[in-house]
Chains A and B, each alone.
Chain A
Amino acid sequence: MSAPDLATPRGADRDALGGAELAVLAARFEGIASKMGNTLLRTGRSGVLNRARDFSCCITTNTGDLLVYAESLPIHVLGADMLSRSMLAAHPDLKPGDAFLHNSPYHGNSHPADHVILVPVFDRAENHRYTMVCKAHQADIGNSIPTTYHAEAKDVYEEGALIFPCVQVQRAGVDIDDIIRMCMMRIRVPEQWHGDYLAMLGAARIGERETLALGDEVDWDALAAFDEQWLDYSERLMAAAIGELPEAEASGISVHDPLPGTPEDGIPIRSAVRVAPADGIVEVDLRDNPDNLASGLNMTESTARAAALIGVFNSLDPSVPKNGGSARRVQVLLREGCVAGIPRHPASCSVATTNVADRIANATQQAMSQLGHGIGMAEFGGFFVASSAVVSGVDPRSGRPHVNQIFLGGASGAGGPYSDGWLTYLHAGNGGMCHVDSVEVSEHYQPLVVHERRVLTDTEGAGWRRGAPALEIEYGPSDEGSLTIAYVSDGEQNPAVGVRGGLDSVPAWNVRRKPDGSEERLPQSGLVELAPGERIACLSQSGGGYGRPEEREPERVRDDVLQGIVTSDRARDVYHVEISEYGELDLAATARLRASVG
């Protein structure tokens, strides 16, 4: 291990806090962030929030550095610094009691469907100290079609989202309800949106209350010293982890499937990675990518950067805290007007947290994997088949409209140097943090029946560490109802790629199944109307494998056979492991097989 750069911390002119004090204060701030998250989960009204937990809560410093977060989606939270800084830029005269609503993809947010409440927190002398950031994916945001992911929108006007570039919604703790009234006229199932809005505001205010109590108890200057030293400490750990990597340059390419508005061969996303261990720096260059598209697939600055960070963090020591300090050690180079860079208004960024974002993370960790065994990861599976669709319509049981994003299951976990792919990972940007909907809860809240949800055998991206197997999910309207289903499927033509000799995943698909038993392949994006009696089925694909499957430990292959993840035929053909019909490992036959194939 080469010596990391442990230059004098920037807070060295203050009294240094001890390791114990740092640990204590970090735990207290994390406690505040998790209290915000708990409030949001328990009081939220839409399924995407209170069941799937598609939200994030964090605290930034008064200059906008990400300090701590509760268990949150990486693609959300790694951009919280930009949100806070856009608040400082738009509202230089912040006052206690202010609150702001933000969802602008052109001002640091992830994508318009993620509504964010920002609350600046002040000490008793009215100095701005911290900002509470609560972000939650909404069930609907008033787009031109009933989905929060409009892939085919050629610009933000066709997308139709109401855009709030950090607008004020409370002054002195009192509502300015203009924005609320606008939203109530424009967002589908408005009372559901309003319930979630209140939950976010409540969570941010609870964070504020707790931070005030902490500052009063500990002393605000000690907290300021903590901020600097905690971020510096995180930066040192990150530099040390990078110091263990070889000095190298590598690039990876991950191709998003073609959709209306994209080039015919899809969108190739290139990530060029340069590792400088002596400086403790990783540089990710995303500039050599196509220009903004007439499509909702464009990245925002926030998600392009976060996705690159995800690719790097996935490839490193998990114990490094992920915050503004460790992020200093990753330099992400972006270009304005680029699909994987900074969007130029009015480019639509409706789908900026998932599809191309996942390709950026995948291309980056693919590149990292070229640095040597034990580094990087395979590709995660494509997101967003029909099992994660936005589903809307009218509930025949109540006659009332419904809209919500369902989370009936997403596999996609990639193989990496430390473990096999995580089965319920969903997609790269979410880090596996979202929850899977209960069938019973889904059927209670929306007029649908989930007919099937199962792991498919022999679908894993094989490898020394394999990807998670694929899931098949089938559902349809209940009773005499119909459903409108919106999704943006990727990975049908470009499955998740294996690395270092690991194999690719199986391709994703979406089909309509009719009452007469016939089946029709569905397009990869757009709206699908299901008539009574029809069903939609999809394959949520596996992740790629890491390392050669012929080198996988025979005991792991046997366990996969016993669990029905892999058949004994595939064990023999792909892993070169012989398993008897009673599930016993035949080590002699395995050795012969492996020797004969080399």
Chain B
Amino acid sequence: MTAAATGVIRLRFACDTGGTFTDLVVEDDRGGAEMFKSPTTPSDPVDGVLASLALAAEEHEVELAQFLGQGDVFIHGTTHAINAILTGNTAKTAFLTTAGHPDVLLLREGSRPRAFDHSLEYPQPYVPRALTFEVPGRLDAQGAELDALDEDAVLEATGRISELDVEAVSVCLLWSIVNPAHELRVGELLAAELPDVPVTLSHELNPSWREYRRASSAAIDASLKPVMGRYLGSLTRRLEEAGFSGRVLCLTSQGGMVDAEALAQTPIHAVNSGPALAPIAGAHYNRVEEGSTEYAIVADTGGTTYDVSLVRGDTIPWTRETWVGGAYQGHMTGFPSVDVRSIGAGGGSIAWVDSGGVLHVGPQSAGADPGPACYGRAGTRATVTDASLVLGYLDAGYFLGGALTLDETKARAALFEDVASPLGAELEPAAWAVIDVATESMVQAILAITVNQGIDPARATLIGGGGAAGLNSVFVARRLRCERLIIPDTGAALSAAGALMSSLTVEHRAVNFTTTADFDSAGIAATLAGLESRCRSFLADAGVAAADGTISFGVEARYENQAWEIPVELGADPTIATKQEDVAERFHRTHRDVFAIDDPNSAIELVSWWARASADTRGGRPFGRLRELAADTLEPATRQVYLPTEGRVEAEVIPWGTLAAASPRTGPAIVESPFTTVVLDSAARFERSAAGNLVIHP
């Protein structure tokens, strides 16, 4: 690794802070990339960031300051915002709401996870009722004023807010999306009375209907402003102090990136900052390998969660329903975000048998602490990692490249006690059953995002990311009848790799309700013109030449009297949106794609419009491949593994780095690198591609 000696190489850093590891991918301007993993420091995540950079500098044999000095851009994904919410370390936040409706955040949208489970406690509101203030003043659905805003009541509230040492204020008034006058005036009064307290106005942050979702977005956003402001400020400052002088960008829940200062202004966009980038990487790997499919299923296996998403071409999937803390029990961000679903399944998932004799895997996880039984720490319960060790999938002496020695005796004892004995099965079939049940829950998570949208997973490529992906990705892919499985060379740090491929993006939305029966062409044109100009100024502020940025438009729409909109892409030409027939035709087609039916006789309700600006920050260069590290080239060997259809067999153990490109092979085999282990049974055909990835036909 003598690249630094030339002194002219420029670097881009992408760093993803997860719960257990901080992943770093460093890309240079000559098409090379490297991957590093360093433990996360939960009490000071910036420390983990700097440690991962120090690891990279060491590999390059240069001082950290010199190494950072070569960097043009530092892209950061972080779980800091979500952790602040989950651990209650957000700001003391007040909520201003329309008089008569103090319990918007308490009632949510009703429902509960399970009908007969009376052990569930009703969840508390995001902002306590004691910090909720009612503001007299009412608009109707058309934006007409039914009651004038009572400014004295607002001032009374600001007085109380000031006495209560509130650190942030959120405002959501009914119908502010149709007529923002009252909300804006409340904002002015807050700015005048409480100049040092950050405020979020719901219509500015999230102009969409359904007051709970908008209120929840505003409350979460306001509550994150102080903590994310401090965190991002500290990150930027300490990177500078360590010698970095480039641009600090942050990943958003929407899979784009914005300047750290901009994210501090609307920190709700950091809630899904980490996992949102895996789909971008997945789309890239589906595209670069031969035989790319229309859809790619991107799965990211961590220690405790399995994150899945579905990408179509380069189109990243979106959802408006993002919950922090579980559906019906947590809080909705009310925001579209990259549609990444998480289930509790990973290497640390605990296997157990219930009183009726049925095996379950997860959602409980042993995590990194106490850890699986084979870690030899405090954990004694059988996990997926233990089962993998018993089956011979993992090498006790080469876990994480030998960083941790696994204790097979403890793994066998835990599996015998927790699984084999209660099931009345032999140890190895019992261990396989653990993998099989974990595989099935992963399969179900994928079916929920594919089949439920009418997409046959058999026509898609599965992209296996995350350190533990290789253990059962072949089995997941086969269950889904996927013909193609890719384990990318950056798979163990898929989100960080995605960050380097991501564009600078911003999205602006506005509500302008109209229908195809009563089509308001001029109104739509005006709405889109407003959105377009906001996008243009974003690009100009970011220093993007007009030619390098793209702006695309779309609408959230539904059939008359349906309650749920679907997003309809309208492309780059805003005049399309002003033609009734064109919009209708695109809606019918999209509805058919999603639900397999359409209703051409029905009017279409067009609800909210978006414009999305995007600018390539890579200057058009493709993402490179990972450079081989010395540890990748161990001697080939063989190992006994247990496979469901063939029992115990001798499998080749192939170091990732020794796998020559374009020479197809078949299993049984184990492909190993310091970051991952891929299990291939004898039905699997696989090869290393020219781009460096493992391409498998299960």
**Interface on A for B, CB 8 Å cutoff?**
18-20, 22-24, 27-28, 31, 34-35, 38-39, 41-47, 50-51, 53, 71-74, 192, 195, 198, 202, 206, 210, 233-234, 236-237, 240, 313-314, 318-319, 322, 377, 397, 407, 409, 413, 416-424, 426, 430-436, 438-441, 443-445, 449-455, 468, 471, 474, 478-479, 562-564
Sample of 17 A–B contacts (CB below 8 Å)? A23-B358, A24-B440, A31-B447, A34-B452, A45-B562, A71-B113, A72-B115, A195-B559, A210-B451, A237-B354, A318-B119, A377-B118, A435-B109, A440-B141, A445-B561, A455-B106, A562-B128
Report Cα–Cα, A422/B103, bound state, in Å.
15
The smallest C-beta distance from B447 to any residue of chain A, in angstroms, reads 5
Residues of B within 8 A of A417 (CB): 118
- Give A49 Cβ to nearest chain B Cβ, in Å: 9
Given A42-B562, A434-B111, also A319-B354 (CB < 8 A): yes
Interface residues of B in 355-404 (CB under 8 A from A): 355-360
| Contacting residues, chain A, for B513 (C-beta < 8 A) | 444
CA distance A424 to B232 in the complex (A): 39
Give Cα A489–Cα B448 distance, bound, in whole angstroms: 39
Q: A residues within 8 A CB of B437?
A: 20, 23-24
Of A377, A416, A449, the residue contacting B140 (CB under 8 A) is A449
Query: Complex Cα distance A259/B609, Å?
Result: 50
Please tell me if the beta carbons of A443 and B140 are within 8 angstroms of each other in the complex. yes
Which residues from chain A contact B356 at a C-beta distance below 8 Å? 233-234, 236-237, 240
Q: A455 vs B122: C-alpha distance in the bound complex, in angstroms?
A: 14
A443–B143 Cα distance when bound, in Å, is: 11
Contact A439 B101 (CB under 8 A): yes
- Can you name the residue of chain A whose Cβ is closest to the Cβ of B358? A19
**Chain A residues with CB below 8 A from B452, complex form:** 34-35, 38
A440 to B595, CA, bound (A): 26
Chain A neighbourhood of B124, CB < 8 A: 563
Q: Which of B138, B433, B595, B602 contacts A19 (CB 8 A)?
A: B433
Q: Is the CB of A18 within 8 A of B423?
A: yes
**In angstroms, how far is the closest chain B Cβ from the Cβ of A47?**
7
In angstroms, how far is the closest chain B Cβ from the Cβ of A378? 11
Given contacts A34-B448, A441-B209, 5 further A-B contacts (CB under 8 A): A198-B597, A423-B122, A424-B112, A436-B108, A563-B128
Q: How far is the CB of B250 from chain A (nearest CB, A)?
A: 32
Task: Report B-chain residues with C-beta under 8 Å of the C-beta of A564.
Answer: 129-130
By a CB distance below 8 angstroms, the chain A residues around B423 are: 18-19
Contact call A420/B121, Cβ cutoff below 8 A: yes
Which chain B residues lie closer than 8 Å to A27 at the CB level?
Answer: 440-441, 444
* A residues less than 8 Å from B602 (CB atoms): 195
Instruction: List residues of chain B with CB within 8 A of the CB of A46.
Output: 561
Please, which residue of chain B has its CB at the minimum distance from the CB of A546? B118
Cα A234 to Cα B111 in complex, Å, equals 25
Bound-state Cα–Cα, A445 to B513, Å: 13
Complex interface: chain A residues within 8 A of B559 (CB): 45, 195
Complexed CA–CA distance, A212 and B447 (Å):
16
Those of B95-116 within 8 Å (CB) of chain A: 100-103, 106-116
> Which A residues are in CB contact (< 8 Å) with B672?
none
One of A51, A318, A423, A433 near B563 (C-beta < 8 A): A51
| Contact A31–B119 (Cβ < 8 Å) | no
- Report the minimal beta-carbon distance from B568 to chain A, rounded to whole angstroms: 14
Taking a contact as CB atoms under 8 Å apart, the answer to whether B130 and A440 are in contact is no
Using Cβ atoms and an 8 Å threshold, which residues of chain A touch B102? 454-455
Whether a CB of chain A sits under 8 angstroms from the CB of B211 is yes
Q: Are B107 and A453 in contact (CB under 8 A)?
A: yes
Measured between beta carbons, the chain B residues less than 8 angstroms from A422 are: 112, 118, 120, 122
Most chain A beta-carbon contacts within 10 A, residue among B140, B211, B563: B563
CA distance A51 to B564 in the complex (A): 9
Mask of B544-569 contacts with A, CB within 8 angstroms, 1/0: 00000000000000011111101000
Q: Which of B106, B109, B174, B354 has the most CB of A within 10 A?
A: B109
Residues of A within 8 A of B359 (CB): 18-20, 23
Q: Is the CB of B118 within 8 A of A318?
A: yes
Q: For residue A374, give the distance in angstroms from its CB to the closest CB of chain B.
A: 12
